[in-house]
Amino acid sequence: MQRDCYVVLIQGVDSQLPSVVTVNVGGTLFTTALSTLRRFPDSLLGSMFSGRHQILKDNDGHPFIDADPKRFQYILEYLRSEMLPPEDFALDMYKMASYFSIEPLREQLLSVPAVAKMLVKEYNHNRFSHYSETKQRVIKLAIERAAPDPSCNGLVNVLVELQRCKFGTKALSSEHNCVCETADIREDKDFCGASTYDEQFVSCIERDLADAGFTTSVSFTVCAVGCPYAVANISIQF
């Protein structure tokens, strides 16, 4: 698993930077030209080695960056020659380029399908409140229900608001036996309250589970009297 990068800039000035710099990245030393690290002045590395800041250093006096050295070498190669990393590292390198604010590298990595797919997923997830937390709740509850089940199926019911309610369908009185009563997870516990969960929300969870290697199936239980709510029955096979 990739570690998060960590850089410390201390208030003050470090104007005595040599033209050739040896940097300690996660315990591995890299030697490069100062001009390489400054190639993009608006980046984190450009600011770090601008001479305007004092830099966190190791016991031997080398500037220190707490990051994965295997991945940092591709950052350094890009700064030297604009060489892109192998596609196997594209996702990690996009995240590192974002951390170090190397915008040209970020832009070029958008053409890698895996990076583009990740961003589309993020855009979709950001449309829904507490998406990651809800997905984890679905998985946790499914595990709890699959454990005593000989078939190892975990079924979780999520309350969703049907698309048709956006075209004027009104919620009915709670006197009828609505399917929402069977929901394990809902955005709003009040029956007539608006829910941010919808069919697209469930589709996002289904795709994420499939991408993670889970075998899933989804069906919907709809109220017979035309209530604008339904229950998405998410089944996960373990």
Spans of all domains in the chain: 9-111, 131-237
Predicted confidence at residue 175, as pLDDT, reads 54
In the block, tokens 């190669």 appear at 77
3-class DSSP state of 132: helix
Three-state DSSP state, 64: strand
Verdict on whether the full-model pTM lies above 0.95: no
CA 44 from centroid of its chain's CA atoms: 21
So what's the pLDDT on residue 196?
Answer: 57
175, 102 in Cβ contact below 8 A?
Answer: no
For residue 145, what pLDDT is reported?
94
CA dist 212 and 178 (Å) reads 33
For domain 9-111, give the fold.
Answer: Potassium Channel Kv1.1; Chain A (3.30.710)
Query: What is residue 6's DSSP assignment?
Result: B
Cα separation, 80 vs 163, whole angstroms:
52
- Backbone φ, ψ for residue 178 (5° rounding): -80, 150
> pLDDT at position 38, please?
96
Q: What is the pLDDT along the chain (238 residues), one digit of tens a residue?
A: 445 565 555 444 455 788 999 999 999 999 999 999 999 999 999 999 998 888 889 999 999 999 999 999 999 999 999 999 999 999 999 999 999 999 999 999 999 999 999 999 998 888 888 899 999 999 999 999 999 988 899 999 998 887 654 434 444 444 556 777 888 998 754 444 445 588 888 999 999 999 999 999 999 988 766 677 889 999 999 9
Q: Tell me what pLDDT residue 157 has.
A: 93
Q: What is the pLDDT of residue 205?
A: 94
User: d(Cα 204, Cα 210) in Å, to the nearest integer?
Assistant: 10
- pLDDT (0 to 100) of residue 192: 44
